[in-house]
């Protein structure tokens, strides 16, 4: 019968593909069995005890075939290893997986980003409304209030992770020239996050502290803290992660409002989502929110989406969209109004600040 030679060829191909091997995973587990398929990204093995299973190349430490006389082959091709640092896995995964290779040696990541930014107007630029006396400036632009800004700056990231904890520090400095006044102003800030992983690796305690000075938004200073319990709701290593953490915070700021100098106790949360399209391209989304317990009109939301594409082992291209809505930003700050003399009450009534601001940023991230 004619189908027998074809069947024989097929069986020979299957036997040639399958090979006995020992696969050692990064978490210390060992799988023994026959490799059924290896496409470079995933390996399918018929394990001796648990049956057929598919594992990602990113989770494999080494593979040894029983017929090999050579040393164990590396888990990842050179291209994957080259971009591993750049794609910046989430802090909890770093602590749990990266440090498992050598528990006595902490994992450290350092990077600098050089960025160019675009920011929407902080204050109304068009007509201020009816009631402006004749002969006086009747638009925000004519008054010299901040409009569209073109920024350039640098930011840094430092991560130090052990098996049970992660310290993450961020800093940034931006300089902007805003229209129409052409004035150059600065904004800068720093943030520190600490995670302590519990016995259940999907839970951890966290603390976050930040301080910022933003002359672009007329914020003299702003201090924020948030402490709470974090949960890893979705965890597919190397592909998809989702974290959520409710907490209690404390904040104090100086930005020309009636709450200047007040310490506000708030309830809030953070949320973090990361998705890897492939070994080179990933997207990360963050959200922080807080609202005062007693002063419920004091609340702020800070949302960010970052697309990261690895260009080499140490260089990545990033595009970031950041939207900040601060409910305490309202009228023009009192120091500006007082400087306007008798015109202060007029502009204070007709030129409220915008509470929301969108910032688009692109740049180069360098790991070192």
Listing DSSP states for 57-116 in one string gives: GGGEEEEEETT--SPPEESS-HHHHHHHTTT---HHHHHHHGGGS-TTS-EEEEEEEEEE
Give the span between the Cα atoms of 302 and 155, in whole angstroms: 18
pLDDT tens for 37-46 read 787 778 888 8
Mean per-residue pLDDT over the chain, rounded: 78
CA proximity to 300, closest of 245, 368, 357: 357
Return the higher-pLDDT residue of 91 and 250: 250
pLDDT score at 314: 86
8 Å CB contact between 291 and 268: yes
Query: What is the torsion angle, in degrees rounded to the nearest 10, for the CA atoms of residue 246, residue 164, residue 200 and residue 193?
Result: 10
pLDDT score at 229: 96
Strand, helix or coil at 295?
A: coil
pLDDT tens for 8-39 read 444 444 444 456 778 877 766 777 888 887 87
pLDDT score at 152: 84
| Kind plus residue range of the DSSP H or E element containing 239 | none
| 80 pLDDT above the threshold of 60 | no
| Mean pLDDT calculated for residue range 252-278 | 90
pLDDT score at 303: 96
8 Å CB contact between 5 and 13: no
Give the span between the Cα atoms of 61 and 26, in whole angstroms: 5
Cα 112 to chain centroid distance, Å, stands at 14
| 144 pLDDT above the threshold of 70 | no
Query: What is the torsion angle, in degrees rounded to the nearest 10, for the CA atoms of residue 29, residue 280, residue 91 and residue 229?
Result: -100
8 Å CB contact between 142 and 136: no
pTM over 0.75: no
User: Percentage of residues in the chain with pLDDT exceeding 90?
Assistant: 30
pLDDT tens for 291-346 read 999 988 889 999 999 999 988 888 999 999 999 998 887 656 666 667 667 666 66
Residue 352: which pLDDT band, with cuts at 50, 70 and 90?
Answer: low
| Mean pLDDT calculated for residue range 230-240 | 87
Domains of the chain, with CATH numbers?
3-76 (2.30.30.100), 91-367 (2.40.160.40)
Return the higher-pLDDT residue of 231 and 333: 231
Diameter over CA atoms, the chain: 104
Token readout for 357 is 């601001």
| 160 pLDDT above the threshold of 80 | yes
39 Rama sector, left if φ>0, alpha if ψ -120 to 50, beta otherwise = alpha
Residue 230: which pLDDT band, with cuts at 50, 70 and 90?
Answer: very high
CB atoms within 10 A of CB 127: 14
Give the span between the Cα atoms of 28 and 48, in whole angstroms: 17
Task: Please enumerate in sequence order all residues whose Cβ is within 8 A of that of 19, keeping only pairs 6 or more positions apart, or say none.
Answer: 34, 35, 65, 66, 67
pLDDT score at 169: 94
Task: Please enumerate in sequence order all residues whose Cβ is within 8 A of that of 298, keeping only pairs 6 or more positions apart, or say none.
Answer: 251, 259, 264, 266, 291, 292, 327, 328
| 86 pLDDT above the threshold of 90 | no
| 198 pLDDT above the threshold of 80 | yes
Min mean pLDDT across 7-11, 204-208, 269-273 is at 7-11
């Amino acid at each position: 019968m004619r189908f027998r030679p074809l069947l024989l060829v097929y069986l020979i191909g299957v036997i040639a593909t399958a090979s006995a091997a020992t696969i050692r995973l990064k978490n210390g587990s060992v799988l023994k069995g026959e490799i059924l398929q290896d496409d470079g990204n995933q390996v399918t093995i018929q394990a001796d005890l648990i049956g057929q299973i598919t594992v990602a190349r990113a989770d494999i430490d080494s593979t040894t075939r029983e017929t090999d006389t050579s040393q164990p082959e590396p888990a990842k091709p050179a291209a994957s290893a080259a971009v591993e640092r750049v794609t910046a896995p989430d802090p909890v995964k770093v602590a749990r997986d990266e440090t498992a290779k050598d528990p006595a040696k902490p994992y450290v990541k350092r990077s600098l980003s050089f960025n160019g930014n675009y920011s929407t107007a902080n204050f109304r630029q068009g007509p201020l409304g009816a009631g402006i006396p004749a002969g006086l400036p009747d638009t925000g632009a004519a008054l010299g209030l901040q409009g569209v800004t073109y920024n350039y700056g640098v930011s840094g990231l430092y991560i130090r992770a052990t098996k049970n904890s992660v310290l993450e520090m961020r800093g940034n400095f931006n300089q902007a020239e805003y229209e129409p006044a052409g004035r150059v102003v600065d904004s800068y800030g720093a943030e520190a996050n600490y995670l302590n992983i519990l016995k259940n690796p999907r839970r951890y305690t966290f603390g976050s502290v930040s301080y910022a000075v933003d002359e672009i938004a007329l914020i003299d200073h702003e201090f924020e803290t948030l402490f709470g319990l974090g949960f890893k709701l979705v965890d597919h290593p190397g592909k998809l992660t989702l974290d959520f953490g409710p907490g209690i915070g404390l904040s104090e700021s100086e930005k020309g409002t009636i709450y200047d100098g007040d310490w506000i106790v708030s309830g809030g949360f953070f949320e973090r989502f990361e998705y890897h399209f492939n070994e080179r391209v990933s997207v990360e989304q963050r959200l922080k929110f807080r609202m005062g317990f007693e002063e419920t009109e004091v609340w702020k939301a800070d949302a960010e989406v970052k697309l990261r594409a690895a260009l080499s082992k140490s260089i990545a291209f990033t595009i970031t969209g950041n939207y900040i809505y601060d409910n305490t930003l309202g009228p023009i700050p009192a120091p500006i109004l007082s400087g306007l003399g008798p015109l202060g009450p007029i502009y204070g009534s007709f030129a409220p600040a915008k509470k929301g601001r969108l910032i688009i940023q692109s740049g180069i991230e360098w790991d070192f």
